[in-house]
Amino acid sequence: MRVLVTGGAGFIGSNLCDYLISRGDYVSVIDNLSTGSLDNIAQLQDNPRFQYVIDTILNRKAMESLVQQCDVIVHLAAAVGVKYVIENPLSSIETNICGTEIALNLANKYKKKILIASTSEVYGKHMHAPLKEDDNLIYGPPSTIRWSYAAAKLVDEFTSIAYHRTKKLRVVIFRCFNTIGPRQTGLYGMVVPRFIQQALRDEPITVFGNGEQTRTFTYVADVVEAMCRLMECEDAVGEVVNIGGAEEISMLKLAERVKAIVGSRSEIVLIPYDQVYGKDFEDMMRRVPSSQKLKSLIDFVPQTPLDEVLEKTVEYFRSRIT
């Protein structure tokens, strides 16, 4: 199979490329390296079944020639990370709405199957758990710019469903919950790589807010497995599906867990949100997925234990310290 991975030099994308190449597929990547890096795909560059283009998904011509050559598109390219979106509000909306529209439009033109990456952020400010795909969505006002990421991804979901219903486009939308593992960077607001790097340097581990907000974390290899099974699953076409982990943990407990695994002398400190993101910031206090739909579609749910993933990720960052 020939797979086009947009955002393939990013964290999830590069792990997906490794997997696809290892099972014998042909892989093309388009990435503008805004948050991804060539390092992430360096191990693939001499493989004759791998090619990459450094360009933006907003370049319709570049996208068109790649879409024509592939059998299936996995659309991962996006402006990602709370910090990145707050610092780049306009270009983030442009990438996340117009870029996805280009990918969907070309998939429809050339009749290619497409998987669209959405996010657990679309659920907004829920306090109940677990979150099911047909739950209502609760957002804050547009002056709180973080919601633009959720709203843009929701527009992507609506557009995907509209293409499916009106043009019969074969599209699958998956909502990733916090995904972690090797190659994730801490530069744009991702909590686990930031905690690990702070712990490895014995610097204060900075927990934002009161630390009681909870998340689940999914190992990137589990997410890759789920995506590849969804790619093959005809019943998933036209559907929105959660991909997320099971173990709910507060950020304060996560900091303690990381500190213990690293064996760090770091102190854990609480930092008010406004000192990190300015005023007008709201966090989501809880985010736990229902995996029922995923299980019924592909008979797989992510279950690598959090400690195991943290250990692998610590190992990755340790190996990069010279």
For residue 43, the minimal CB distance to ligand NAD (Å) is: 16
Contact between 185 and 196 (Cβ < 8 Å):
no
Could you write out the DSSP letters of every residue in 189-234?
Answer: S-HHHHHHHHHHTT--EEEETTS--EE--EEHHHHHHHHHHHHH-G
Residue 117 as a binder of ligand NAD (CB under 6 A): the answer is: yes
The correct pick among 28, 108, 119, 266 for binding ligand NAD (CB under 6 A) is 119
For residue 222, the minimal CB distance to ligand NAD (Å) is: 12
Tokens of 35: 């948050």
For residue 8, the minimal CB distance to ligand NAD (Å) is: 7
- Bridge partners of residue 16, in order along the sequence: none
Using alpha carbons only, what angle is made at residue 15 by residues 11 and 21, rounded to the nearest 5 degrees? 145
Catalytic residue among 149, 163, 188, 219: 149
- Binding string, 138-177, against ligand NAD, x = CB under 6 A? --------------------------------------x-
Cα gap 241→295, rounded to integer Å: 10
Total residues interacting with ligand NAD, rule: CB under 6 A:
28
For residue 251, the minimal CB distance to ligand NAD (Å) is: 14
Contact between 236 and 172 (Cβ < 8 Å):
yes
Nearer residue to ligand NAD within complex by CB, 230 or 264: 230
- Binding string, 58-97, against ligand NAD, x = CB under 6 A? x-----------------xxxxx--------------x--
Residue 9 as a binder of ligand NAD (CB under 6 A): the answer is: yes
- Bridge partners of residue 163, in order along the sequence: none
Cα gap 133→126, rounded to integer Å: 13
- Binding string, 23-52, against ligand NAD, x = CB under 6 A? -------xxxxxxx----------------
Residue 196 as a binder of ligand NAD (CB under 6 A): the answer is: no
Residue 182 as a binder of ligand NAD (CB under 6 A): the answer is: no
The dihedral over CA atoms of 207, 127, 179, 94, expressed in degrees to the nearest 10, equals: -100
Cα gap 200→314, rounded to integer Å: 8
Residue 99 as a binder of ligand NAD (CB under 6 A): the answer is: yes
For residue 286, the minimal CB distance to ligand NAD (Å) is: 16
Residue 11 as a binder of ligand NAD (CB under 6 A): the answer is: yes
Cα gap 208→276, rounded to integer Å: 8
Chain-centroid distance of CA 107 in Å reads: 21
Nearer residue to ligand NAD within complex by CB, 197 or 266: 197
- Bridge partners of residue 27, in order along the sequence: 3, 50
Cα gap 37→190, rounded to integer Å: 16
For residue 58, the minimal CB distance to ligand NAD (Å) is: 6
Instruction: Find the distance separating the first CA and the last CA of the chain, reported in whole Å.
Output: 39
Nearer residue to ligand NAD within complex by CB, 28 or 119: 119
Nearer residue to ligand NAD within complex by CB, 188 or 277: 188
Q: Is 19 a catalytic residue?
A: no
Q: Which residues bind ligand NAD (CB under 6 A)?
A: 7, 9-13, 30-36, 56-58, 76-80, 95, 99, 117, 119, 176, 178-179
Active site residues: 149
